[in-house]
Structure 1
């Protein structure tokens, strides 16, 4: 049975925007009130989703997407073509294959163009942006912050796209060398990499500041690729359903997922899948030493700490942007309560859940923190026992399973499937993996090709104004390459987008 067409509209978690279409929500990124866009309802497919069991990945992605996007916005034939094109770039025929290792299953999400899970959403988002822009004849400045993998995936999703300028901010010295090479070796004219001396949180704060400057956002038509963009979450829902269908004959009808996460986007997609009706038993939040999420589920304290540099840099995040979406539901879908809590958090860096809210959250999630030693030991152990090479982020997910298997009791359940999301190819973090295994990682040919490729990037002071100025200069140069005597006049000409 086919899923029903969507009638869903979108709203801000903080109540300042309601009734937006899917297209408006995608282009809005961060809402005008500083909140995040969410659907006004979550579709229930519990009675029908098993009819999807034989679908290919791109076909399933279409079924999920059409629940959140009306056919009036994207006709069925167009949406099907978009999904087919988005996942044709993956190297494995299953797009996200599942590998059994001992009593765990690894959902390998790293067979896309940049060998990281974010390709699943960003290949589709790039095509979605291009589709909408062609139809409306407008231009877009995509602005994103990255702790490593979002940047590469966004760049590969946006490179060469018509009417799109792509600006990616990354923290100096806090991404792996291969991640930096992957981003900065893309020389397409519409790609602009900005290296900032600071942390990922600094980069993310600057992006939020730019989106919060509403005249600037409108003038330069800012679009988001970070998981503040609802479409990122929507596209990631697909692989939870897809994995369920791949494993259902081998399990008892329910399964659990352990998700390495820093910004809470990847596991939030699993939460939405569960709310839609997927029979999920446990969702495990697996953090590294930057454990703000684990501390929340452990004690109810969501307090900002200084970010530590670790061997799993994509999770070196002090504030998890997507957590606001989840708090909206924990706080009884009360935008006023959430807005007050987030305003206080911005002032003080502290947020405390009530005991009732904490108990609600613990019904949805379990959590564990994998230290540097946990990650190293797990990578080494899996190499020796199973000849399977983990990257340090996936090792966090495996370590979390080891820490919680008896507490949650899943290991004693017959035919229960515990799935760890394999978020990146180990070659993307070769130094950390080599330190654990005492040998270099063999890189896939496409990843090896960027290792010594020529690069292009700018070093920019870590301030909102510096990044803003860089975007202005770059857009003006790209659209008006000839010298212009009247800068303010040119700026006014740009407002038409």
Structure 2
């Protein structure tokens, strides 16, 4: 299995043989593009049948081995077995078995319309990011140990990626983590979860700006190839291919758990800001998983919803980005969207490069096909199963109350956005699976507003906000950020 960049400068370059281990640590390609397989591996019906009763770790091995062909099977199987255990994913709700890792719960059964919640937040930081990040930590340590190397992870978070990365990498040999987050724009729980870590290899940097400012700095540093090489910079943001492919696994798991035969289709609704989570669903669908619709659910920062309704991708400025009660989706520049656009335009890297250069110069592009637009590929979106919708604060509160009253489950704010939009797209005979974003405990302020009571917290998180916090505040200045990294790596 070889990988290519979405912005490969020439046909010759696009054929450069990059394997999984070659791109694991690096994030962006040298040309500024994102890595994708040169072709998607296909899954057969007989494979799906064989996978139906596999434990999650074994299913992860079977899927990942199609992408990580340069890692010996025995090593990869050991990595997935060490990652996906009941001890790691221990925060299951009452009635859920931790060994299921991503259990399903049917919320609504109205005739032939079915709404299902897939739990993805039983890991150590109570968010779906743990599903990929725990594996990434083990993959990084494995690869670095083989080469006697070091890695300085430089990432950005709008809430959950940061803590998931830090908990996955804390204490890992040869790894330091420099994590940016928007200053005072995460929930109190999210902030405490990150900033209370005292491990010497963890560096938290609160940036005076919004998430997009943080993400822009990560990309700027990644595009400085000399600095990146000298400082041994890698990334855990969803631009990292290994993170995306690890998320593909739970789409297969959800499908196999919700169906009894491969003739049945399902749809997935995914709360989305950066497009990484639902991009994994797109890849699963391209591999042959019988997915009907991929439903993009956004909050008030509805950049992706606008595209999937109109064909116009319009990035918002920082001043136009709302600070909402589903803060992990307060994103106005979806960095993983480029991977889907690459497929949408027929894997034409020159076209992709031109479109995303236009994002930088003009703030977006228009594929609607209308006079003066940049192309007409929006007509092809339906071929990939995408539809969308958005939610706001009032919708969020209503959905949280309804789900608690009707089903006895307290959901987080992002999952509420997902359920609200999912209900708009449920089709008869096609189960709709909503991917959970996080446990509600991480957003207690909004849950209290919605239902008038605090959320019960898993053991070990009862008083996290009172713990001492270690972080620094910095402006969105790339030069100063590089200086801080260099100072603390000693390289």
Q: Partner residue of 2:75?
A: 78
Question: Which of the residues 376, 380, 383 maps onto 2:401?
Answer: 380
Contact 2:209 2:475 in 1 (8 A): no
Q: CA deviation at 1:449?
A: 4.8
Contact 1:141 1:221 in 2 (8 A): yes
Once structures 1 and 2 are overlaid, which stretch shifts more, 61-70 or 243-252? 243-252
Q: CA deviation at 1:252?
A: 6.4
Q: Partner residue of 2:423?
A: 402
- Aligned equivalents of 1:81 and 1:273: distance in 2? 23
Larger relative helix fraction? 1
Q: How far does the alpha carbon of each residue in 1:256-290 deviate from its partner, in whole angstroms, 9 at most, with x for none?
A: 10000100011111111111111011110000010
- Aligned equivalents of 2:262 and 2:269: distance in 1? 16
- Aligned equivalents of 1:403 and 1:463: distance in 2? 42
Question: Which of the residues 127, 130, 144 maps onto 2:155?
Answer: 144
The secondary structure found in structure 2 opposite 1:446 is coil
* Aligned structure 1 segments of 4 or more residues deviating by more than 4 angstroms: none
How many residue pairs align between the two structures?
461
Q: Which structure 2 residues correspond to residues 55-454 of structure 1 after superposition, within 5 A?
A: 55-70=54-69, 73-88=70-85, 89-91=88-90, 92-103=98-109, 104-249=115-260, 253-305=264-316, 306-355=320-369, 356-364=376-384, 365-405=386-426, 410=427, 412-413=428-429, 416-454=430-468
Q: How far does the alpha carbon of each residue in 1:125-183 deviate from its partner, in whole angstroms, 9 at most, with x for none?
A: 01100000000011110010000000000001110000001110000111111111111
Q: Partner residue of 2:477?
A: 463
Q: Partner residue of 1:487?
A: none
- Aligned equivalents of 1:36 and 1:363: distance in 2? 22
Q: How far does the alpha carbon of each residue in 1:344-377 deviate from its partner, in whole angstroms, 9 at most, with x for none?
A: 1111102111434112113320100111111111
Contact 1:297 1:362 in 2 (8 A): no
CA gap 1:123/1:342 in 2 versus in 1, 3 angstroms? same
- Aligned equivalents of 1:278 and 1:15: distance in 2? 28
- Aligned equivalents of 2:308 and 2:338: distance in 1? 14
Q: CA deviation at 1:462?
A: 1.7
Once structures 1 and 2 are overlaid, which stretch shifts more, 146-155 or 87-96? 87-96
The secondary structure found in structure 2 opposite 1:459 is strand
Q: CA deviation at 1:192?
A: 0.6
- Aligned equivalents of 1:101 and 1:446: distance in 2? 28
Q: How far does the alpha carbon of each residue in 1:60-96 deviate from its partner, in whole angstroms, 9 at most, with x for none?
A: 11111100011xx321111111111111211111111
Once structures 1 and 2 are overlaid, which stretch shifts more, 312-321 or 95-104? 95-104
Contact 2:270 2:297 in 1 (8 A): yes
- Aligned equivalents of 1:236 and 1:156: distance in 2? 18
Question: Which of the residues 2, 9, 19 maps onto 2:2?
Answer: 9
Structure 1: unaligned runs, 5 residues or longer: 1-7, 477-493
Q: Partner residue of 2:112?
A: none
The secondary structure found in structure 2 opposite 1:302 is strand
Q: CA deviation at 1:453?
A: 1.7
- Aligned equivalents of 1:265 and 1:46: distance in 2? 25
- Aligned equivalents of 2:8 and 2:315: distance in 1? 24
CA gap 1:381/1:163 in 2 versus in 1, 3 angstroms? same
Contact 2:269 2:433 in 1 (8 A): yes
Contact 1:295 1:302 in 2 (8 A): yes
Q: How far does the alpha carbon of each residue in 1:416-437 deviate from its partner, in whole angstroms, 9 at most, with x for none?
A: 3110001100001110111111
Once structures 1 and 2 are overlaid, which stretch shifts more, 348-357 or 208-217? 348-357
Q: CA deviation at 1:381?
A: 1.3
The secondary structure found in structure 2 opposite 1:166 is strand
Contact 1:170 1:196 in 2 (8 A): yes
- Aligned equivalents of 2:331 and 2:49: distance in 1? 37
- Aligned equivalents of 1:249 and 1:464: distance in 2? 52
- Aligned equivalents of 1:250 and 1:449: distance in 2? 46
Q: Partner residue of 2:489?
A: 475
Tell me the TM-score normalized by structure 1.
0.91
Q: CA deviation at 1:37?
A: 0.8
Contact 2:298 2:305 in 1 (8 A): yes
Tell me the TM-score normalized by structure 2.
0.92
Q: CA deviation at 1:251?
A: 9.7
Contact 1:46 1:276 in 2 (8 A): no
RMSD: 1.3
Structure 2: unaligned runs, 5 residues or longer: 91-97, 110-114, 370-375
- Aligned equivalents of 2:457 and 2:158: distance in 1? 21
